[in-house]
Amino acid sequence: MGATDRIINDLLPEFAEHQRLKAKDYNGSLVPGVENADVLGARGQYAELWRKMAKLKKSLWDGEALVGEQPREILLDFIGHCFLAIDMLDRSPSAVLPTKVHPGSPQALPMTRNACSSSCTSRNHTLSGGCRYRLAEVDK
């Protein structure tokens, strides 16, 4: 069995259970009617990933022992924050669009619901605004 099969058959079910258990600690809402993760949005997830990255570097790269969470749990949490951010972007793609265009990258196009067709969804679009199924220019 290869790595992909081990990930799908063993790690994904483990991650799902890990995510369910972790989510129970965050039940309730600090802001009525809004899930806690949504309060700070995808930027909040980025902050969580950044915070955990320092711990991962300390352990995996620098070889230092951690006192609390160990690398495996941190990585499972990291995956969870990635999925939360993806969920947020799928629900509101304009939540985190690049405000600067870096040299050498394509100019970001505005993402409009009907840029490609009325049945196209934001999930089909790349951050540069192109549709994964049919590249379309948006009227400027």
Token pair of 76, please? 């499972």
pTM for this entry: 0.63
Domain boundaries, the chain: 3-96, 98-140
- Three-state SS for 31? strand
Report pLDDT for 121: 57
Segment 104-123 mean pLDDT = 46
User: How many beta carbons lie within 10 A of that of residue 50, not counting itself?
Assistant: 10
pLDDT in tens, 36-90: 788 788 888 999 999 999 999 999 999 999 999 999 999 999 999 999 988 888 8
Q: What is the Cα–Cα distance from 91 to 96, expressed in whole angstroms? A: 11
Q: At what angle do helices 36-56 and 71-91 cross, to 10 degrees?
A: 140
